[in-house]
Amino acid sequence: MGIWDKLKGELIDIIEWLDETSDTMVYRFERYNNEIKNGAQLIVRESQAAVFVNEGQIADVFMPGRYELTTANLPILATLQGWKYGFNSPFKAEVYFVNTKRFTDQKWGTMNPIMMRDADFGLVRVRAFGTYGMRVSDPATFLKEVSGTNWEFTTDQINQQMRNFIVSGFSDAVAEAKIPVIDLAAQYEEMGEVLTNKMQPKFGEHGLELLNLLIENVSVPPEVEAAIDKRSSMGALGDMNKYMQYQTAEAIVKGAENPGGVGGIGAQIAAGMAMSDQMKQMTQPQPPPAQGAGAPPPVPQTQVFVAVNGQQQGPFGLDVIKGMITSGQLNGETLVWMEGLPAWAKASEVPAVSGLLGAVPPPLPPQE
């Protein structure tokens, strides 16, 4: 370094830092040979602290204000350098300005999914992200534990470590709270407060204070989202019995609008009979079982398959078969099959069905 630089360093009598950035946390004041004149003026602005370091050891810390540097206000430094009677010549010390303002909108998030146990869905993988703020609460600790001798230290150099702390704390907080995945969205604010209190000691070890930790989103895999949507849909249906009645009525209406479709009249009659049976069961009182005896076993009903336009339909009960005969959908030549038959047979050849053919009155004679 040239003689002019040396003289310039000796002439420096004002020590200050004007921060023109938004992310600098520590700045080391530079001057020739680390020399500071006796009586130099130190200016520490609001949201700053000045830390004097002597041969790698932290000495005096100055908070916001204007100071004249003498042995009177540099007691630790004077002791470390061994001045018993004061000093008039320049002295050597490193000066670090520490930014104590709030650093907001710092991002955190899970790089990989976190496994959690949920009462509804079992083991679930979740992702989470949000923002947080921080500030230096103990300049000396932060300088010693984090920034070290760097001439400039920014938030980018510590964000990764702080984010890992938060993600680890989030996993523990969710496990301890035992909040179902479905209810997490309603607990973001509460979870943020719990996580802030949980992580404060860890930040304090680094001379930092954690501020305004927010959880913006907790997401689950697509298959879990689909299961949640399905459960919501089922809940929106309400009474499942009423829903099934509605579906049955809709099927009858659609069948009437398309009588030529597969199943035709037979499908309409079957749906109508099923609806009728269901309504009877709901409206008619059932006799109580005999005292000391259980309910009687259900009587098995004959079930018949019918070939309609080359398509297999059914099975239908005998009441439905009778209705199909009345409507002309089934006659003696129609192929039917029921349990016990080796193959399809004409309706007139199957006793259970042929008996119904004769029970149907013939068509009325034409009117003269």
Degrees to nearest 5, angle at CA 281 with 275 and 282 = 90
Looking at the DSSP bridge assignments, the partners of residue 219 are: 127
Q: What is the pLDDT of residue 326?
A: 81
Residue 30 is given by DSSP the state: P
- Rounded to a whole number of angstroms, the CA Rg of the chain reads 44
Would you tell me the crossing angle of helices 156-177 and 188-204 to the nearest 10 degrees? 130
Q: What is the pLDDT of residue 36?
A: 80
User: Is residue 188 classed exposed, middle or buried when 0-12, 13-18 and 19+ CB atoms within 10 A define those classes?
Assistant: middle
Q: What is the pLDDT of residue 91?
A: 74
- Contact predicate 338/303, CB 8 Å: yes
Q: What is the pLDDT of residue 46?
A: 93
Q: What is the pLDDT of residue 9?
A: 46
Q: What is the pLDDT of residue 103?
A: 95
Q: What is the pLDDT along the chain (368 residues), one digit of tens a residue?
A: 454 454 444 445 788 999 988 899 999 988 766 678 778 889 999 999 999 888 778 888 999 999 988 766 676 665 656 554 455 556 778 899 999 999 999 999 988 888 888 777 778 888 899 999 999 999 999 999 898 878 899 999 999 899 999 998 888 888 777 788 778 778 888 888 889 999 999 999 999 999 989 999 888 877 777 776 676 666 655 555 665 666 666 665 565 556 555 445 555 555 555 555 555 555 455 555 555 555 555 556 778 898 887 788 888 888 888 888 887 788 888 898 988 888 899 988 888 888 888 765 666 666 65
Q: Which two tokens stand for residue 293?
A: 């005896």
Half-sphere exposure of 20 (CA within 13 A, CB side): 0
Q: Which CATH number fits domain 103-225: 3.30.70.270, 3.40.50.300, 3.30.479.30, 3.60.9.10?
A: 3.30.479.30
208 φ, ψ (degrees, to nearest 5): -115, 160
- Contact predicate 278/305, CB 8 Å: no
Residue keyed to tokens 């000396």:
140
Half-sphere exposure of 322 (CA within 13 A, CB side): 12
Q: Where are the domains of the chain?
A: 3-99, 103-225, 240-278+302-359
CB atoms within 10 A of CB 88: 10
